[in-house]
Structure 1
Amino acid sequence: MTVIECVGNGRARGRAHGEHAREMIHAALARWREGTSAHSREHLTANGLLATVEASVPDLAEEMRGIAEAAAVPLPEVLAYNFMDQQWWIHREHLELGCSVLGQVGEGGVFLAQNMDLPDFMTESQVVLHVSPGHGPDALVLSSAGMIGLTGVNDAGVGVCVNALGMLRHNEVGLPVATVIRGALAQVSRDRAVDFLRRVSHASGQHYAVADARGFHGVECSASKVRDSTLPGSRMVLHTNHPLSNDDIDLVAERELTDEGRIADSKVRMDFLTSHAVSARDGESAQRILADRSAPLCVTPRFGRRTQTFGAVVFEFVTTPPTARFCLGLPDREPWITPSWSEPRTVETR
């Protein structure tokens, strides 16, 4: 397991991340360069994404600067790496939908679970960030070395899981997904997290499942609309990669994803989650569902597709702070670990 302590203001958190994961960051960026085009990487830092981050969540811009400084890598590369979803949708690179979310008020309380599916070149860069800003809640965040976050939960009892919705319209000067996730995790309640999601601009189509001990609130965000997909306090949330409520559709992307079978694949996984949700009574049963390959929820590269399940999470809201379980890799192969919120941690690097 790799757990990185990120303590203090944005620049200090980033420096801690960059210093302790320097070798992993260099290896991750080398694989990313091989797997993506130079044109898209350069464009991501030449448009308005960074200015939006500076205006909306400036401490996260500082965190990315700190990562670049301490890891001794160019800031534009760290920025572009963190703007991953925008590289997918603006430049149509690795246009392969993935990620499955399942949450329920079960016998033992509320849980929220997710498989995070990403391009296979990101494998071996998995980390857990323990974010301690000092002026807000701590968070445990699944991430890739060099990235500020993919999905997570905070010690105030708010969890956030995500699904890319490539059919929805995008905005080249919106707020990138990683910064939206971390911005939501900086909030002290589910209602405030959803309010944050409603008031920021969004660079790409995304579903955010926000959970606490009371239940769930799911919202689908596009360039110009935020729509509820799961009503506040619902006892269940299920989502894959096609919109359930937001009609702000990018017709070109919809046609492309449909022709390539991505939407059909998303609906197969959604049907599987729907039929198996009744058996998901607690976090452990959710782990078994996430490890299933028949839908497939647990993804390995297939012919013409480079997506792989990067990791998985299960957050249980029985206590405050919640219990956070992470699998750093394929959930049918790799062990699940449960980092502590308060005990001293040993930082490891691979």
Structure 2
Amino acid sequence: MTVIDCAGTGRQMGRAHGEQARDAVRAALERWRADAGGGVGGLVHTFPLLDTVQRLMPELADELRGIAEGAAVPFEDVVAYNCMDEQWWLGRQHQRRAGCSVLGSHTTHGTLLAQNMDLPPAMDGTQIVLRLRPKDGPEQLVLSAAGLVGLTGVNAAGVAVCVNTLGMLHGGPEGLPVAAVIRGALTRRTREEAIAFLSAVPHASGQHYAVADADGLGSVECSAGGVVSALAPGDRRIVHTNHPLASTDIDPVALEELRAEERLGDSEARLAFLASALRLEGSSAALERLLEDTTVPVCMSGRPGWPMRTFGTVSYALGSVPRARFRLGLPESAQWTEPGWSGPAAS
């Protein structure tokens, strides 16, 4: 496993990322350009996504600049690459992403949150874990791909964030890209603060955010039309895939596309399997085993014609000291590892 240690200001963390993972960033961008068919840089100039990041999260905008500087690659490519979800609906309507399964439970023993991150097969081999020590805010452990600021993560204060794309919800080019939203939530020190952040910012893409800390779970579905809780009062578990359970901000054209491509049916099958199999008092190992399922399948190994493959799996245990386990790849080719914190938890 490649752990990239980054500390300091946004610009310093970005440069550390770009310098340590330079070859991987360049390879990832080459694959991305080939997969996208060219012209992806226009996303930066056509839509105000970068302006929104700069206005709401200037340190993250600096981190993107630092990645480009450290890896010696074009800044606009780094920005566009970090608008991955936005490309799938805004720039490339015919390739809406459908992947990722999230599980969570909260008991008297603490809170568990886990997920499969499913991405295009071309991204396999670019997996990294970012260990971020920002100048302000808690340390973070973040699953990512070389050149991306993050896909899912947990911080040393004990707040974890997992995600599912909801491609049938309305997006908005004035909103904050998903990768930026994830990192913004991970700067918060409690679940309530993270959900307040999610509820306050505009969203560029339809996305479900599962947020957890030692005291409980949160589940919100976000779109350009607003933020809706997907967790009923008193619920102590989360099961979510790639269709909304609460939001009604539906784009009918996108919904029909996903249904025609069988991606809606796939999401519904994964949800039904996981909802029936998840036990509230289960262990981290039990959640991890569910995410290895190959019958539905929950774990996507890249069957012919299917656009997604399981890029990695995360498993967070949120007690007095938060723990994070990462598997960077498929179960048959990658082992679980726990990188640990560089300093005292909750620093």
Q: Which category describes the TM-score, using the shorter chain as reference length?
A: over 0.9
2:310 corresponding residue in structure 1? 309
1:66/1:42 CA distance change after superposition, 3 Å: same
2:20 corresponding residue in structure 1? 20
Asked whether the 8 Å contact 1:36–1:93 carries over to 2, the reply is no
TM value normalised by structure 1: 0.95
User: After the TM superposition, which residues 69-218 of structure 1 pair with which residues of structure 2 at under 5 Å, given as runs?
Assistant: 69-90=69-90, 91-106=92-107, 108-218=109-219
- Per-residue CA deviations over 1:89-121 (Å, capped at 9, x if unaligned) read 112253230000000125743100000000011
**Aligned-pair distance for 1:46?**
3.0
- Per-residue CA deviations over 1:8-61 (Å, capped at 9, x if unaligned) read 010000000000000000111111111003234422443100000001111000
- Per-residue CA deviations over 1:254-290 (Å, capped at 9, x if unaligned) read 1111111111100000001111102770111111111
2:244 corresponding residue in structure 1? 243
2:57 corresponding residue in structure 1? 57
1:291/1:125 CA distance change after superposition, 3 Å: same
Percentage of pairs with the same residue = 51
1:336 corresponding residue in structure 2? 336
Report the RMSD for the aligned CA atoms in angstroms: 1.6
1:221 & 1:25 partners in 2: Cα distance? 29
2:9 corresponding residue in structure 1? 9
1:222 corresponding residue in structure 2? 223
1:136/1:80 CA distance change after superposition, 3 Å: same
**Aligned-pair distance for 1:332?**
4.5
2:122 & 2:184 partners in 1: Cα distance? 26
SS of the residue 1:39 aligns to: coil
Q: Which amino acid aligns with 1:170?
A: G
Range with greater deviation from structure 2 (248-257 or 89-98) = 89-98
Range with greater deviation from structure 2 (174-183 or 290-299) = 290-299
**Aligned-pair distance for 1:305?**
1.8
1:158 & 1:203 partners in 2: Cα distance? 23
Asked whether the 8 Å contact 1:107–1:282 carries over to 2, the reply is no
SS of the residue 1:59 aligns to: helix
1:153 & 1:15 partners in 2: Cα distance? 22
Q: Which amino acid aligns with 1:214?
A: D
2:114 & 2:331 partners in 1: Cα distance? 12
2:233 & 2:72 partners in 1: Cα distance? 44
1:299 corresponding residue in structure 2? 300
| Runs of 4+, deviation exceeding 6 Å | none
User: After the TM superposition, which residues 40-55 of structure 1 pair with which residues of structure 2 at under 5 Å, given as runs?
Assistant: 40-55=40-55
2:120 & 2:288 partners in 1: Cα distance? 22
2:266 corresponding residue in structure 1? 265
Unaligned runs of 5+ residues in structure 2 are: none
SS of the residue 2:272 aligns to: helix
Q: Which amino acid aligns with 1:283?
A: S
1:190/1:233 CA distance change after superposition, 3 Å: farther
SS of the residue 2:39 aligns to: helix
Residue correspondences, number: 343
Q: Which amino acid aligns with 1:62?
A: D
SS of the residue 1:336 aligns to: coil
**Aligned-pair distance for 1:214?**
1.3
1:192 & 1:175 partners in 2: Cα distance? 18
2:289 corresponding residue in structure 1? 288
SS of the residue 2:314 aligns to: strand
- Per-residue CA deviations over 1:144-181 (Å, capped at 9, x if unaligned) read 00000000000111000000000100001210000000
**Aligned-pair distance for 1:301?**
1.8
SS of the residue 2:154 aligns to: strand
1:238 & 1:332 partners in 2: Cα distance? 24
Unaligned runs of 5+ residues in structure 1 are: 345-350
2:316 & 2:238 partners in 1: Cα distance? 13
